[in-house]
Structure 1
Amino acid sequence: MSYNFESEVPEALGQLLKTETDYNVIIYVGEEPNSKEFHAHSIILRCRSEYFNKILTDENIEKKEGKYIIKKPNISPQAFDIILKYLYTGKINITNKTGTELLDFMIVSDEFMLEKLTKLTEDFIIENQRQFLQKDPVGILQIVYCFKPLVKLQEYCLDKVCSEPKILFNSDRFTQLSAHLLEIILKRDDLNLEEIEIWEYLVKWGFAQGQALNQDVTKWSQDDFNTFKRILYKFIPLIRFYGITTRDYFNKVRPYEEILPKELKDDILKSYMIPEYKPIYTPRLPKCNNIINDSIIINREHFTLFANWFDRRKENGKYINDIPYRFNLLYRASRDGNTAAVFHAKCDNKGATIVIAKFNNSEQIVGGYNPLFWDSSNSEKSTNDSFIFSFSDKNNLQSANVAYSYGNGYSIQSYSYCGPFFGCNDLYINYIASNDWYCRGSSSYPTLNLPNKMIMDDYEVFQVIKNS
């Protein structure tokens, strides 16, 4: 008969670490004011870590009163505390650590040659830390790229920046990004920014590197242009100028045109002046570019958010890059005609749809999701999966508010004389009365606190297609 009491071993070792009985290693970690003295046992450190085994078997190791002395001023006591407990007990809990703390911990793991721990932390960040880059994208990117083993995390960070570029480009520290990292990002074909935006950000970065330059380019001397050219010369070939409209080129690029090579300027002019001329270049295509079809009201980030709402995905499980939906524009009021007849002709019996409407003279938008279908049967439908939503500012995703159906018999209403109709007067357009939108109840959805009557600039209806 045999018994397995192995669970008692890490508990006993954990208690040994806590009581520090018969320790013979002193480890000084960090620098003032963030420093700490740790006590450990050489036999455990040597068994559990190749790094410590090399140090503790070195004949030149410092000793004091019979104890080994190790100094690690370059790492934080907080990260080392987790490492030491792991070496003794084999247990680790990083669930509640911030992105910066996890990165610090991972770097320490790598230094101590704990490959399994490094990989575990890297995988945890990629799978669970959706906000990893938010607080300090520049600092985190530059740290991650200092450590060659973090290949997966480097690619994750680049994918994140390219799919949600404003995390980086709108950061207060964007202009402190190293030239090397900026070059890596601008080389990417999936950078999800308009080319003119990339040019404007590049100019902003360039100004920060040449701080003595006058912000008014009309007052520049030839020396100023030469300075700016030296700062940006390696980035000019990375800008896809052929993707910039003539208006934007004239207003935003032409003032700096002197820093462009003459051959490039001539070719850009040729592409603008000769319609049949097709320059050879690779346009940027974000990985999820195919999910959107021609919206003039919202962008890719809104569609990604809608996909999360469809599947009710929470913070730790949100779609970021690859979402399992495509969106096909069925109807736009300003393009197709703002009438009930056209709405039904374009949208009836097309399956799930999402509706987006923009307020007149405002950045506010409202809309709703019909997971069933529209028709002209003058009937009502019940579902728990429909929702209505609003953004007080469509340029700020944090201003979003979504309300799911209560599941009663009026979740969706289909009337031949109405457009989209959500709930029992919760959000709808009744063309008999006017072309305005109304919110005159909250019996089928929680209230979004919308006005009773809303004048819209335009509205769009997209067919929602789940990828097979």
Structure 2
Amino acid sequence: MLYNFESNLSEAFGQLLKIETDYNVIIQIGEEPNFKEFHTHSNILRCRSEYFNKIFTENIEKKDGMYIIKKSNISPQAFDMILKYLYTDQIDITNKTGTELLNFMIASDELMLKKLTKLTEDFIIQNQQKFLQNDPIGILQIIQYCKPLINLQEYCLNKICSEPEILFNSDKFNQLPASLLEIILKRDDLNLKEVEIWENLIKWGLAQEQVRNQDITKWNQDDINIFKRILYKFIPLIRFYEIFIEDYFNKIKPYEEILSKELRDDILKFYMISGYKPQRNPRFNSNSIIIKRKHIALFSNWIDKKEKMNINDINNIPYKFNLLYRGSKDGNTAAAFHNRCDNKEATIVVIKITNSNQIIGGYNPLEWDSNNCSKSTKDSFIFSFTDKNDLQSANIVYSNGDQYSIRTHSRWGPVFGNDLLLNYDNSPNIWYHNSVYSYPTLNLPKNMSMDDYEVFQVIKK
């Protein structure tokens, strides 16, 4: 007959580790000044660890009858936790800092303790907000070159790009290594206005040791050359063509001499010549001054009628969004809208509401034309973001499929039923919500003044 008794085995082994009775293994961990020697038992290590079992089957160093193991690349603090786990099967990581957790995870991976590695990674992801905010620079530096942390690295970068204040508002931001800053500025999903990216880049550049004078008005040619060398690899990553001319004049022109003459001429052409299309850089290429990649990912989900968006959707967008028209640049008239947007098949319209962070808009799965007709579809939708920086503030409603889902008129702009429309006969800067007719209500006001609006062609990849 089998009897099960309550076991105190883990407690007994924990006591054995503490008092070091009959130990026969000396493990030297870390390097001075962070160095510690641990006294352990070969039988326990072999039973509990594939890594240590392999070591004991090989030609291992012995001195005075003791096995000697040296691991200089592991921190004593991390190994202390691992050793307690090997002896007692217990682990507590709840009160560890982000740096301590990463060191523990790296040590667990090297010692082939897959269960601990996965446990720590899951814990970090579940507690990533606190984990990143405590020391985003230190965390990124640790995970940058460590292969076992590649999944965690991508997760952290996704989080920082989604909530950039975690990094850019950190009091240690200026200590961010250039290699990491370059990785972040190359990302497609960095959720900052382009002018804000520029301002942070200038702040970072001025904090580098080579800069002798913070006052740009007092710079000589040597100072300019030094600053140009600091920022040269980052300048191609700034999408100057998304920056309003007022911001360019106030925030970029003072530093204009660090830009190449070719780039300055190209920017000038962009501001002065209607329809000029400059060479774009490799980051997110919607060319919008209203929305970011996270909005594009969400629009794609709505087009495919998916209920939820996860973080992976941001990097796997199934559609291309080509900017066809921007009112402030291409001419805010019915003729300009139809000239650029008619017969382009599926499009999405995005409108920035004046004096707010609100954006509204709609998706037309058919096409715009100037034939003064109405079209039926159940795939069109209209939407509103109370705060464009907060995806949770979004609300979307699909057409009921009636014959007025999409309306086209030569003297009007985009028209979604009687629910959201731009009537140039009345005003070029007011969007109207005349009634709840073809779409369920979004609780929009009847008249909405806009700063600008954009129309994108939507193409399946």
What's the TM-score, normalizing by structure 2? 0.61
Q: Are 1:338 and 2:341 matched, yes or no?
A: no
Q: Which residue of 1 aligns with 2:433?
A: 439
> C-alpha separation between the residues in 1 aligned to 2:357 and 2:52?
59
Q: Which residue of 2 aligns with 1:428?
A: 421
Worse-matched range after superposition: 350-359 or 154-163: 154-163
Q: CA RMSD in A?
A: 5.9
> C-alpha separation between the residues in 1 aligned to 2:227 and 2:181?
12
1:428·1:439 contact (CA, 8 Å) conserved in 2? yes
Q: Are 1:109 and 2:100 matched, yes or no?
A: no
Q: Which residue of 2 aligns with 1:26?
A: 17
Q: Which residue of 1 aligns with 2:77?
A: 74
1:99·1:125 contact (CA, 8 Å) conserved in 2? no
Distance change (3 Å), C-alpha of 1:343 and 1:233 = closer
Q: Which residue of 2 aligns with 1:141?
A: 140
Distance change (3 Å), C-alpha of 1:372 and 1:265 = closer
> C-alpha separation between the residues in 2 aligned to 1:412 and 1:300?
31
* Partner SS state of residue 147, structure 2: coil
Q: Which of 353, 376, 379 is 1:381 aligned to?
A: 376
Distance change (3 Å), C-alpha of 1:429 and 1:247 = closer
Give the C-alpha shift of residue 88 in structure 1: 5.9
Q: Which residue of 1 aligns with 2:282?
A: 285
In structure 2, give the amino acid aligned to 1:149: K
Q: Which residue of 1 aligns with 2:320?
A: 326
Q: Which of 348, 352, 360 is 1:366 aligned to?
A: 360
* Partner SS state of residue 313, structure 2: coil
The unaligned stretches of length 5 or more in structure 2 are 20-39, 67-73, 270-278
> C-alpha separation between the residues in 2 aligned to 1:414 and 1:269?
42
Q: Are 1:170 and 2:161 matched, yes or no?
A: no
Give the C-alpha shift of residue 364 in structure 1: 3.1
Q: Which residue of 1 aligns with 2:400?
A: 408
Residue-pair matches, total: 405
Give the C-alpha shift of residue 460 in structure 1: 2.8
Give the C-alpha shift of residue 269 in structure 1: 8.6
Distance change (3 Å), C-alpha of 1:228 and 1:448 = same
1:126·1:156 contact (CA, 8 Å) conserved in 2? no
Cα offsets for 1:22-61 (capped at 9, x unmatched): 6664369xxxxxxxxxxx9975642231455569x99789
> C-alpha separation between the residues in 2 aligned to 1:214 and 1:158?
34
1:308·1:318 contact (CA, 8 Å) conserved in 2? no
Give the C-alpha shift of residue 172 in structure 1: 1.9
Matches within 5 A, 1:53-202: 53=53, 74-75=77-78, 103=102, 106-114=105-113, 118=117, 135=133, 136-145=135-144, 148-150=146-148, 152-153=150-151, 156=154, 160=158, 166=164, 170-173=168-171, 175-179=173-177, 181-182=179-180, 185=183, 200-202=199-201
Q: Which residue of 1 aligns with 2:71?
A: none
> C-alpha separation between the residues in 2 aligned to 1:249 and 1:297?
17
> C-alpha separation between the residues in 2 aligned to 1:411 and 1:318?
36
In structure 1, give the amino acid aligned to 2:168: N
> C-alpha separation between the residues in 1 aligned to 2:12 and 2:193?
63
What's the TM-score, normalizing by structure 1? 0.60
* Partner SS state of residue 320, structure 2: strand
Distance change (3 Å), C-alpha of 1:453 and 1:266 = closer
Q: Which residue of 2 aligns with 1:47?
A: 47
In structure 2, give the amino acid aligned to 1:461: V
Cα offsets for 1:341-397 (capped at 9, x unmatched): 7756765664432111233455532101233555657446352x5432223454x24
Give the C-alpha shift of residue 304 in structure 1: 3.1
Cα offsets for 1:211-241 (capped at 9, x unmatched): 9977544467x8xx98998798555465449
> C-alpha separation between the residues in 2 aligned to 1:433 and 1:231?
51
* Partner SS state of residue 78, structure 2: coil
Cα offsets for 1:398-432 (capped at 9, x unmatched): 47422232x63449623344643435x43233556
In structure 1, give the amino acid aligned to 2:169: S
Worse-matched range after superposition: 129-138 or 353-362: 129-138
Identity %: 44
> C-alpha separation between the residues in 2 aligned to 1:444 and 1:41?
76
* Partner SS state of residue 154, structure 2: helix
The unaligned stretches of length 5 or more in structure 1 are 1-11, 29-39, 64-70, 275-281
Give the C-alpha shift of residue 285 in structure 1: 0.9
Give the C-alpha shift of residue 141 in structure 1: 0.4
Worse-matched range after superposition: 318-327 or 343-352: 343-352
Give the C-alpha shift of residue 140 in structure 1: 1.9
Distance change (3 Å), C-alpha of 1:195 and 1:240 = farther
* Partner SS state of residue 310, structure 2: helix
Distance change (3 Å), C-alpha of 1:456 and 1:267 = closer
In structure 1, give the amino acid aligned to 2:105: M
Q: Which residue of 2 aligns with 1:33?
A: none
Distance change (3 Å), C-alpha of 1:134 and 1:249 = same
Distance change (3 Å), C-alpha of 1:197 and 1:102 = same
Distance change (3 Å), C-alpha of 1:257 and 1:27 = farther
Q: Which residue of 1 aligns with 2:299?
A: 306
Distance change (3 Å), C-alpha of 1:50 and 1:380 = same
Give the C-alpha shift of residue 329 in structure 1: 3.5
Worse-matched range after superposition: 152-161 or 361-370: 152-161
> C-alpha separation between the residues in 2 aligned to 1:256 and 1:430?
42
Give the C-alpha shift of residue 268 in structure 1: 8.0
* Partner SS state of residue 458, structure 2: strand
Distance change (3 Å), C-alpha of 1:43 and 1:244 = same
Q: Which of 391, 399, 412 is 2:385 aligned to?
A: 391
> C-alpha separation between the residues in 2 aligned to 1:112 and 1:386?
55
2:407·2:416 contact (CA, 8 Å) conserved in 1? no
Q: Which residue of 1 aligns with 2:204?
A: 205
* Partner SS state of residue 17, structure 2: strand
In structure 2, give the amino acid aligned to 1:391: F
* Partner SS state of residue 205, structure 1: helix
* Partner SS state of residue 463, structure 1: strand
2:405·2:438 contact (CA, 8 Å) conserved in 1? no
> C-alpha separation between the residues in 1 aligned to 2:46 and 2:130?
34
